[in-house]
Amino acid sequence: MRAGLAIVAALIVLAIIGPPLWGDQAEAINSAAILQGASAAHPLGTDNLGRDLLARVLVAGRFTLMLALLATAIGAVVGTVLGALPAVLPRKGARFVTGLVNALVAFPGLLLAMFVAVIAGLGAKGAVLGIGAAIAPGFARLTQTLAASVAGADYVSAARMLGVPRGRILARHVLPNIAEPLILNLTQAMGGALLGLAGMSFLGLGVQPPSFDWGRLLFDGFARIYLTPEVALGPAVAVALAGIGFNLLGDGLVKKARRARPSTDKAVAPRPEPVAADPEAVLDVRELTVAFPGGVTPVRELSLTIRPGEIVGLVGESGSGKSLTAAAVGGLVPYPGVVGASLLHRGGEVAMVFQEPALNPALKVGGQLAEVAIVRDGLSRAEARERAIDRLGRVHLPDPARSAKSHPHELSGGMRQRAVIAMGLMGSPKLIVADEPTTALDVTVQGQILKLLREVVDQTGSAVLFISHDIAVVGELCDRVVVMYAGRVVEELPVKELAAGAAHPYTRALIASLPDMETDRSRPLASIPGRQPAPADVGEGCAFAPRCALATERCAAERPPLTVYGPAHRVACWEA
Ligand SMILES: Nc1ncnc2c1ncn2[C@@H]1O[C@H](COP(=O)(O)OP(=O)(O)OP(=O)(O)O)[C@@H](O)[C@H]1O
């Protein structure tokens, strides 16, 4: 960042003082010193009119920077407008513009620049328009992406509900909130424009004599590269240095902006925390909502508190929002999802364990585990390796030192899942979020992994949020069960009450659909008729009502709140 800033500052100074200081020298024709190489009088040699090349490089700085600035400005303005248009245009127009941007982004930038430059005419104007055209798609895509991420925010939804016109929403709510990353991108685009313009001039498509920029000087010098390579060196170094300077500065600014805003949850959920977090809880979430643009809200108003050493099961059918809840807890909701919550308190480190063993097939297991400790805790390679082998031993991988040297495919599915749990244990997690960790495993191995999780909890005191569609597995492992349906919690109860004390018809149906010893295995399993509504189709009333034998008119019209039913037992049902 500092180096970038220094280079850019030096370039600005050069652009200001260059032409007045060395302007005359750069234009002074000297027929006695034509096409010379480097000498004391001309450190970078002379050109075909005997003009001093060092002076010309120093003078060309201003013109080069101005062209780059102009090209960047054109690219940024056109790009931002193109990127913002879909938000204000009617659906068809929006689709057309989005398609156009997608096509332009896929088109190689330099080809686009050359195409436009040739159409616009050879010379500085053509080159600037060409490079501007090459920069625009990137800006358009960035604007679109950023605008979509803001579009789901509460204040934009509120404005939309109040009937504020689209153009005004864009100008007042969307653009100001995405200005910062756009401006940061400008600096990097400027570096790209400098290099692009040099490239255009170098191809003979840019600045034409008698004007000259660094690209043009490079073009002229290149013809003599075998005789006097130093004449090409000056402009080449200038272009490279300027490009690097702007890119370093841009990178530095982006990093600084990110550091200033470390938590994305805060960025998207600016609401104050009205309730104090339970200080002992390893997780305290209130009114968690995960939304996607277009009014899709797969997780709604979910509250969950987990204390140290607790194993809490989150259970529900596919699509009920379990994985998104886990992702929100881990801060991993995929783009363009937006997380909102009145409180999201994590009382320590969170480790995530996924169903698909999250191991890179190309790398050795031990190395992948070690990397966590090297990057996160700054351990030396040897220390990290030692810790990895220790953790692999803790999850009972036979011969941990050898397992560490294996590639994932050399381990069985159960062993891979153990290795992933070991990876979670590389730090000191207070909460392990395990999303369907045993679903891909056969029943025996599944039992072993469940036993291991219980053992980890007993030994480390960390808590587990265990996510599964299988209420039997949850019943076997967990202390407490949270049942989700269509994005909401419908029941929360201690596991010992599961068999006889479940109050919500959906929980009861899940339990009833389980096979037991008396079930006639030749008959199909009892299943719940009907389907869970998609997030966009959840209506006013209880989402389970259409499938519920007990449903009344009230259930269809009015959503039952989650209320206390007994000690540590809450239910959302009018009929419970
Ligand atoms: N990136 C996304 N964009 C839009 N909708 C999404 C996205 N990811 C998930 N959803 C929606 O959210 C709903 C809940 O998804 P989630 O993965 O949390 O469900 P789940 O209960 O974990 O199901 P499964 O057991 O199949 O993983 C789904 O109906 C899906 O349509």
In this prediction, residue 173 carries a pLDDT of 65
What is the rounded distance in angstroms from the CA atom of residue 221 to the CA atom of residue 288? 63
Neighbours of 443 (CB within 10 A): 8
C-alpha of residue 244 to centroid of ligand 1, in Å:
42
Measured at the CA of 472, the angle between CA 469 and CA 474, to 5 degrees, comes to 65
Outline where DSSP puts E strands in 427-475. Answer: 431-435, 463-468
Q: Which atom of ligand 1 is nearest to the CA of 436?
A: 25
Going from the Cα of 322 to the center of ligand 1, the distance in angstroms, rounded, reads: 8
Measured on CA atoms in the order 157, 158, 162, 168, is the torsion positive or negative? negative
Q: For the segment 240-288, what is each residue's pLDDT rounded down to a tens digit? A: 888 888 888 887 877 776 665 443 333 344 444 456 778 889 999 999 9
User: So what's the pLDDT on residue 526?
Assistant: 59
Q: Quote the distance between the C-alpha of residue 411 and its chain's center.
A: 31
The ligand 1 atom nearest the CA atom of 317: 21
Rounded alpha-carbon distances, angstroms, from residue 514 to 17, 148, 475, 525, 526: 82, 42, 11, 7, 8
> Which ligand 1 atom is the nearest neighbour of the CA of 484?
21
Structure tokens at 408: 């994932």
Q: Which atom of ligand 1 is nearest to the CA of 290?
A: 12
Give CA–CA dist 127/113, Å, rounded.
7
Ligand 1, atom 10: nearest CA belongs to which residue?
298
Kindly state the tokens that stand for 284: 């305290």
Residue 379's alpha-carbon distances to 95, 329, 367, 405, 460, in angstroms, are 50, 27, 13, 19, 21
Measured from CB, residues less than 6 Å from any atom of ligand 1 are: 292, 296, 298, 316, 318-324, 334, 337, 469, 534-535
Domains of the chain, by residue range, sit at: 2-28+42-262, 283-349+429-516+525-571, 362-427
CATH code that applies to domain 2-28+42-262: 1.10.3720.10
CA distance 486 to 531: 10
Of 46, 1, 8, 4, which is closest to residue 27 (Cα–Cα)? 46
Atom 26, ligand 1: which residue's CA is nearest?
Answer: 318
Residue 148 Cα, ligand 1 centroid: separation in angstroms?
A: 19
Interatomic CA distance for residues 562 and 490, integer angstroms: 7
Task: Classify 188 in phi/psi space as left (phi over 0), alpha (psi -120 to 50) or beta.
Answer: alpha
Q: What's the pLDDT score for residue 275? A: 64
Residue nearest to atom 3 of ligand 1 (CA): 292
Type of residue numbered 403 = S
Tokens of 133: 């055209």
- Whole-number Å distance between alpha carbons of 361 and 516: 39
What was the pLDDT predicted at 533?
92
Centre of ligand 1 to C-alpha 492, Å, is 21
The three-state (H, E, C) secondary structure of 10-53, written as one string: HHHHHHHHHHHHHHHHHHCCCHHHCCCCCCCCCCCCECCCCCEH
- pTM for the model: 0.58
Q: How far is the CA of 534 from the centre of ligand 1 (A)?
A: 9
Closest CA to 412 of 379, 365, 464, 377: 365
Specify the ligand 1 atom closest to the Cα of 534: 29
What topology does CATH give the domain 283-349+429-516+525-571?
Rossmann fold (3.40.50)
Q: What pLDDT shows up at residue 264? A: 39
The beta strands (E) that lie in 523-573 are given as: 563-566, 569-571
Give the pLDDT confidence score for residue 106 in this predicted structure.
84
Task: Report ipTM for this prediction.
Answer: 0.96
Residue nearest to atom 18 of ligand 1 (CA): 321
- For residue 488, the CA-to-ligand 1 centroid distance in Å is 13
**pLDDT at residue 265, rounded to an integer:** 39
Kindly report the protein residue whose alpha carbon is nearest to atom 29 of ligand 1: 319
Compute the distance from residue 332 Cα to the ligand 1 centre, in Å: 13
Residues 6+ apart with CB under 8 A from 164: 172
Residue nearest to atom 11 of ligand 1 (CA): 298
With a cut of 50, which residues of the chain have pLDDT below it? 154, 261-273, 521
Distance (angstroms) between ligand 1 centre and the Cα of 535 equals 9
